[in-house]
Amino acid sequence: MTMTIAFIGLGNMGGPMAGNLIKAGHSVNGFDLSEAARAAAAERGVSPFEDMAAAVTGADAVITMLPNGGLVKKVWAQIAETVAPGTIMIDSSTIDVDSAIAAHAMMAEKGCLTLDAPVSGGTGGAEAGTLTFMVGGSDDAIAKGREVLEPMAGRVVPCGGAGAGQAAKICNNMLLGISMIGAAEAFALGEKLGLEHQALFDVISTSSGQCWSVNTNCPVPGPVPTSPANNGYKPGFAAALMLKDLRLAQEAALSRGAQIPLGAEAAQMFGLFESLGHGGEDFSGIINFLRGADK
């Protein structure tokens, strides 16, 4: 079914995601505070709006793709009186679980269907329409939201009720941050022990230490030619975004009383890495920090 979809937040992720909705035949009303983002989205066929309320008026679905939970709650509150009951509201930003739950409650009160649907797959996945959406919300909202998400998705994974998508996202990314530090430590130790990168890779990638951080995003150049290590640690997945997700995991652990000592250590290390000016590098560049090289 062809829909009118309002898309708020047309940045590095939102712009190409909105473009894939256009390619699927939907009509997309786009809003962003940045004129440059609106203009870039217009090149993809999005109808740019300078007024957010006008963009959401009459929309069948609203998607937000914004930097943080405070902004998501603010934007959803600003449009709460304008969206019609029955509208499907989807937030695909990566935000804290408690803000996501509050956003669901706010719009459920207005008779909307609501989803938290953060993504993994980065800007490449956003462009290609192959993002994985981790989705939290009611069964009805998931059924209706799936139709909206599919043109942007490789996979849509239902995770549970309100906030469950954000919860799954931060648990996964915390594990990823920890596993990358583990992979980097293994290769840095191997170097000191005189092991060739390829030899260590051949063992780990087929043994019990295998993981995405080694098999796909290997932190040393050579064994996996497509990993960012072969390209000056150009992201990929920027260390600053990893740090954001690790901090969200810490916030969630504090609010729910979970013990995440390795997650906390990973946040500290990526925090230091960023403060040394490496936030724009792929997160696998943490191996240079471990080696003590400030590059």
Residues marked as catalytic: 169
Task: Indicate which single residue of 22, 59, 62, 66 sits in contact with ligand NAD (rule: CB under 6 A).
Answer: 66
Q: Which helix (H) or strand (E) holds 284?
A: none
Candidate residues 6, 18, 21, 37; the one interacting with ligand NAD per rule CB under 6 A? 37
Q: Is 114 in the site for ligand NAD (CB under 6 A)?
A: no
Measured between alpha carbons, how far is residue 248 from residues 113, 169, 171 in Å?
25, 10, 10
Q: Report, in angstroms and rounded to the nearest whole number, the Rg of the chain calculated over CA atoms.
A: 20
**239 in Cβ contact with 83 (< 8 Å):** no
Residue 42 found at the interface with ligand NAD (CB under 6 A):
no
Annotate each residue in 139-158 with x if it binds ligand NAD (CB under 6 A) or - if it does not, as one string: --------------------
Q: Which position among 5, 8, 107, 218 is part of the footprint of ligand NAD (CB under 6 A)?
A: 8
Contact 223, 233 (CB under 8 A): no
Which part of the chain contacts ligand NAD (CB under 6 A), choosing from 30-38, 140-148, 158-166, 224-232? 30-38
Taking the least distance from each CB to ligand NAD, the nearer of 32 and 274 is 32
Identify which of residues 41 and 229 has a Cβ nearer to ligand NAD in the complex. 41
Q: Does 6 bind ligand NAD (CB under 6 A)?
A: no
Indicate whether 34 belongs to the interface with ligand NAD (CB under 6 A).
yes
- Kindly state the DSSP code that residue 289 receives in the 8-state scheme: H
Tell me the C-alpha distance between 204 and 238, whole Å.
24
What is the helix (H) or strand (E) element at residue 136, kind and residue range?
Answer: strand 131-137
Does residue 49 contact residue 58 with C-beta atoms inside 8 Å?
no
Going by C-beta distance under 8 Å and a sequence separation of 6 or more, which residues neighbour residue 200?
A: 186, 187, 190
DSSP tag of 282: B
Question: Which single residue is written with the structure tokens 């530090």?
Answer: 181
Q: Which of 6, 10, 41, 188 binds ligand NAD (CB under 6 A)?
A: 10
Residues 77-106 that bind ligand NAD (CB under 6 A): 93-94
Beta bridge partners of 158: 135
233-262 residues near ligand NAD, rule: CB under 6 A:
241, 244
Contact positions vs ligand NAD (CB under 6 A): 8-14, 31-34, 37, 65-67, 71, 75, 93-94, 119, 122-123, 241, 244
